[in-house]
C-alpha cells in the first residue's frame, strides 16, 4: 500500500478531531505538519500548540516540515512537542550538518528539504546525517498548487543517490501530488507522498485516499 502523508494544513480545523479519526480509520501512519513563519515562506500556518495537541491525542508518526528561518533555534521545542521526524530546509540554515546532527541527538529522525530550484548537490555531503529527503515539487508556502514537472529529473537523481549510499533514507515528495500523477511518481522511486488538497478535498477523505492508493 502506498504511504500517504496527509497534510494537516488542508484539514478542516473546525472539525479537526473528526478528520484525524477518519485518517486513523483509513490506516494512515504519517501525518505531515507544515510549520510556516511568514519569513522563509510568505505565509503563516500553525506552531507548537497544535503539534502538542495532535501528539497528545493520536499515535501518527508526526512528520514535521519546518518552513522557517534558522530552524536550529527551535529543535528542542519541536522534540518536546512530539515531533517524530523533523525536516529543515537546506536553504534556511547555514550549518546544515550541525542542525541535522542535533535533530538526531534529540531523538528525532532528521530530514532535509529542497525547494524546486535548489540543486541536490549538497546532499552527497550529508547522506550519513539524514533519514528523510523531502523534494518540494511546488514553491512552498501555499496549498493547492500545480506540480512542477521539471522536478522529476531531480527525483530520479536523488533516488539514485539514496540507492548508491546503501542507507535507509525515505524519499518524500510534497506539492501537487494527486491521483493522476502519483503512480508516475512512485515509478520514479518516491516512498512517501504528501497530499493536502488531494486528501481532504470536499471532505471526502476515505474516497480521496482510496484514489491516491489506487484501491479498487
- Quick check: 3 and 191 in contact, CB under 8 A? yes
Q: Which helix (H) or strand (E) holds 57?
A: helix 48-57
Is 34 one of the annotated active-site residues of the chain? yes
Whether 174 sits among the annotated catalytic residues: the reply is: yes
Q: Which residues of 19-45 are buried (b: 16+ CB within 10 A; e: fewer)?
A: bbebbeebebebbbbbbbbeebbeeeb
DSSP H helix total and E strand total for the chain: 8, 8
The DSSP output letter for 147 is P
Coil, helix or strand at residue 39: coil
Integer Cα distance of 100 and 110 in angstroms: 6
Tell which residue, 61, 64, 70, 156, has the closest CA to residue 110: 64
Q: Which residues, including other chains, have CB under 8 Å from residue 14's CB and lie 6 or more apart?
A: none
Q: Which residue in 19, 34, 37, 63 is the catalytic one?
A: 34
Q: Which of 37, 63, 131, 174 is catalytic?
A: 174
User: Distance (Å, rounded) from C-alpha 106 to C-alpha 13?
Assistant: 30
Catalytic residues: 34, 174
Amino acid at each position: 500500500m502506498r504511504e500517504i502523508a496527509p497534510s494537516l494544513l488542508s484539514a478542516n480545523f473546525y472539525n479537526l478531531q473528526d478528520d484525524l479519526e477518519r485518517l486513523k480509520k483509513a490506516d494512515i501512519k504519517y501525518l505531515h505538519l507544515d510549520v510556516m513563519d511568514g519569513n522563509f515562506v510568505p505565509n503563516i500556518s500553525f506552531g507548537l500548540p497544535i503539534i502538542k495537541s495532535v501528539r497528545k491525542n493520536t499515535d501518527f508518526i508526526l512528520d514535521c516540515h519546518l518552513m522557517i528561518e534558522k530552524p536550529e533555534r527551535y529543535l528542542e521545542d519541536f522534540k518536546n512537542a512530539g515531533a517524530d521526524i523533523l525536516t529543515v530546509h537546506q536553504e534556511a540554515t547555514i550549518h546544515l550538518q550541525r542542525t541535522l546532527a542535533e535533530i538526531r541527538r534529540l531523538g528525532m529522525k532528521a530530514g532535509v528539504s529542497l525547494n524546486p530550484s535548489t540543486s541536490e548537490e549538497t546532499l552527497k555531503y550529508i547522506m550519513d546525517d539524514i533519514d528523510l529527503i523531502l523534494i518540494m515539487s511546488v514553491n512552498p508556502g501555499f496549498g493547492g498548487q500545480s506540480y512542477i514537472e521539471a522536478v522529476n529529473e531531480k527525483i530520479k537523481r536523488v533516488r539514485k543517490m539514496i540507492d548508491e549510499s546503501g542507507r535507509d533514507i525515505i524519499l518524500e515528495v510534497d506539492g501537487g501530488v494527486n491521483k493522476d500523477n502519483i503512480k508516475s511518481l512512485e515509478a520514479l522511486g518516491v516512498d512517501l507522498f504528501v497530499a493536502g488538497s488531494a486528501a481532504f478535498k470536499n471532505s471526502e477523505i476515505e474516497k480521496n485516499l482510496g484514489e491516491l492508493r489506487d484501491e479498487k
